[in-house]
């Protein structure tokens, strides 16, 4: 019964979160009005609020959540580790260095900041791959994880050095970015992010069978026809770049990549392809819902989105941990 209902359940959860994201705010709009406004019907002011102000924000949250969820699901399977998540692999640190550099240099415009963040993340990912390759010439999951942690630690130190001499406004800007937010959503940037994330996500779905086999261990996967080192590197790169896109779009939104795949498995998703797709839906629903909380919990002040997702994620994770022990 649960098995048959889980996919409809995921879609309903996402739809409910989206409706809430469009309805809730300083001007409350009823779900019925939301639907009519989406179809271009009703009060022009309501249409403007729903379509221009809130829809872009909700769509960005969907892209961020789906991207982080898929990235985490792919990494956890491939690296055989339920604790693997995009931010552990140096992606977040590298992106943050790129963004902070842009902020400190005073070029943090609407376009420059995401580009700088993405470039920083890409450099960090390549650095991790180079370290892992130099360490043992193979794509050993443990070495990849350790290299990611080390690059992340180095990035954190670099950020502190960069911010030590910066002015108060710069520090505040950088800090806000590092706490994550989808408040800056706008359609032009969003369409690029969505296209890129969809491409990387689809590529992960294509290699999902390799993820299934890699989750058995290197030798077993090799015996089943997977070119282990090349496949591990490919999936790592796709997952890391997918996470980098989300970081470029919304800063650091923690815990989603870690918690969402665990939730998907909790729903009984076993094979990589269904885990990836379920993680996309769940991640999207979670981030859209978290953004509603971030906007409304202490309105008119906005809470940082990354803090809200962590506040939700930590208790869930502790619960899982208790059941696992």
Partner 1 sequence: MISVSGAVVRYPGAEANALDGASFEARPGQVTALVGPNGSGKSTVVRALIGQVPLTAGAMRVGAFDVASTDRRALARSLAVVTQREEPAFPLSVRDYVMLGRYPHHGAWSALGAADVAAAEAAVDRAGAAALLPRRTDELSGGEWQRVRLARALAQGGEALVLDEPGTFLDVAHEMSAFELLDALARDGRTVLLVSHQLNLVARFAQHIVLLHRGRVVASGAPTDVMRGDVLEPVYDWPLVVARDPAVGAPVLIPLKRR
Contact positions toward partner 1, by CB under 8 A? 76-77, 80-82, 136-137, 206-207, 209, 212-213, 215-220, 222-228, 265, 270-271
Rounded to an integer, what is the distance from CA 129 to the centroid of its chain? 20
Dihedral-angle region of residue 251 (phi above 0 means left; psi in -120 to 50 means alpha; beta otherwise): left
Task: Rank residues 136 and 191 by Cβ distance to partner 1 and give the closer one.
Answer: 136
Choose between 111 and 206: whose C-beta lies nearer to partner 1: 206
Asked if residue 178 lies in contact with residue 251, where contact means CB atoms within 8 angstroms, the answer is: yes
How many other CB atoms sit within 10 Å of the CB of residue 254? Answer: 24
Cβ proximity to partner 1, 189 vs 228, nearer residue? 228
Closest-CA residue to 97 (of 156, 46, 141): 156
**Nearest approach, Cβ of residue 254 and partner 1 (Å):** 22
Give CA–CA dist 23/58, Å, rounded: 11
Minimum CB distance to partner 1 smaller for 51 or for 80: 80
**Shortest Å, Cβ 90 to partner 1:** 21
Closest by CA position to 11, among listed 284, 225, 295: 284
Minimum gap (Å) between residue 130 Cβ and partner 1: 17
Taking the complex as a whole, the smallest distance from the CB of residue 270 to partner 1 amounts, in Å, to 5
Q: Name the residue nearer to partner 1 (CB basis): 61 or 213.
A: 213
CB of 205 to partner 1, least distance (A): 9
Distance CA 289, CA 21 (A): 7
């Amino acid at each position: 019964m649960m098995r048959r209902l889980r996919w409809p359940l995921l879609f309903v959860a996402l739809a409910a979160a989206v409706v809430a994201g469009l309805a809730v705010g300083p001007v409350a709009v009823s779900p019925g009005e939301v639907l009519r406004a989406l179809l271009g019907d009703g009060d022009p002011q309501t249409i403007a609020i729903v379509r221009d102000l809130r829809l872009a924000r909700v769509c960005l949250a969907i892209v961020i959540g789906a991207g982080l969820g898929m990235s985490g699901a792919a990494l956890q399977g491939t690296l055989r580790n339920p604790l693997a998540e995009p931010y552990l692999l140096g992606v977040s640190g590298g992106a943050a260095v790129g963004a902070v550099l842009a902020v400190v240099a005073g070029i943090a415009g609407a376009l420059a900041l995401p580009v700088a963040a993405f470039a920083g993340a890409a450099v960090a990912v390549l650095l991790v791959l180079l370290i892992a390759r130099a360490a043992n010439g193979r794509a050993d999951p443990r070495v990849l994880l350790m290299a990611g942690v080390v690059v992340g630690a180095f990035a954190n130190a670099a950020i502190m050095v960069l911010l030590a001499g910066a002015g108060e406004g710069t520090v505040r800007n950088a800090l806000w970015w590092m706490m994550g937010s989808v408040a800056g959503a706008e359609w032009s940037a969003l369409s690029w992010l969505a296209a890129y994330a969809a491409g990387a996500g689809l590529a992960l779905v294509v290699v999902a069978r390799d993820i299934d086999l890699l989750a058995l261990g290197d030798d077993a996967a090799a015996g089943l026809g997977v070119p282990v080192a090349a496949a591990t590197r490919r999936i790592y790169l796709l997952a890391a770049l997918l996470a980098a896109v989300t970081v470029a779009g919304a800063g650091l939104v923690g815990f989603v990549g870690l918690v969402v795949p665990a939730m998907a498995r909790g729903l009984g998703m076993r094979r990589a392809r269904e885990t990836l797709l379920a993680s996309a839906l769940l991640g999207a629903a979670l981030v859209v819902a978290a953004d509603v909380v971030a906007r409304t919990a202490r309105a008119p002040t906005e809470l940082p989105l990354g803090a809200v997702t962590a506040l939700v994620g930590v208790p869930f994770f502790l619960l899982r941990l208790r059941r696992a022990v």
